[in-house]
Structure formats: C-alpha cells, structure tokens
Amino acid sequence: MKTLYKFYDFINEELFDAELPAAEIHLLGKDSHKIMGFEIDGLCIGLDDYEYWIGIHEDLNIYDSFYTLVHEMIHVWQLENGKHMNHSGWFKVWEKKALTYVNLNEEEIKCLAQNI
Ligand SMILES: [Zn+2]
C-alpha cells in the first residue's frame, strides 16, 4: 500500500508536474474487482470536486500495479480537468507522455519502490 502511494507521488511529479490532487488508493480484492461482471485491473472514481478514489487489483505484480496506476491517474487528470473519462483524445496524449517520463522496466520499478 505504502508503495502505491509512493508511486502516486512519483508519477504525479514526473508526469503531471505535481498537479494532481491526492487520491485514496485501495487494493481491490478478488470479489471487489468485478464491475458488472467484468474483471478489471484498476478503477478510478471522482468522489467530488477534489477527491479521487483509485482501486488497484491486489493480484497485480509490481510492474502491472505501476502502469495500472499510471492509467488510473490519467483518468484523475481527465476528471480534474473536466474532460470525459475515456481512452481516446487526452488519454492518448498522456499515454504518449508517459512513454517519455515514466517509462520504467520492472527492475527500475522495483528499485523505485525501495528508494523513494
Ligand atoms: Zn481506463
């Protein structure tokens, strides 16, 4: 859990210039990660104007957790900036930026988890 919050701060600084507000991060258990019958890796919900709730599946390895968090944080950015929460338009723009600013391999992510 602590690691996910560290990742959140790291991604926020590196990718979003620390502009995203703090979010609550939760691990999704085996049952709670099914939404309308679909299995999901992550989830982002805007609670009100300045609060966000992010769920990350507990079974993901550290690499997938990191990139699922990047994915959900792009949704936080969309909600925060009044954009539609989807996977086109701005989502693709941020996905591309992520390739530049937070493009880490598994070793680097493990290292990051220990050192930040
Ligand atoms: Zn998504």
Report CA(3)–ligand 1 centroid distance (Å).
21
Report CA(13)–ligand 1 centroid distance (Å).
21
Pick the CATH number of 2-115 from 3.20.20.70, 3.30.70.3400, 3.30.2010.10, 3.30.420.40: 3.30.2010.10
| pLDDT tens figures, 57-81 | 888 999 999 999 999 999 999 999 9
Q: Where are the chain's structural domains?
A: 2-115
Residue 89 has pLDDT above 90, yes or no: yes
Report CA(40)–ligand 1 centroid distance (Å).
9
| pLDDT tens figures, 11-57 | 999 999 999 998 999 888 866 555 555 557 788 888 766 689 999 98
Report CA(77)–ligand 1 centroid distance (Å).
12
Distance CA 69, CA 10 (A): 11
DSSP 23-46: EEEEEE-TTTTEETTEE-SEEEEE
pLDDT at 9: 95
pLDDT at 31: 63
Report CA(71)–ligand 1 centroid distance (Å).
6
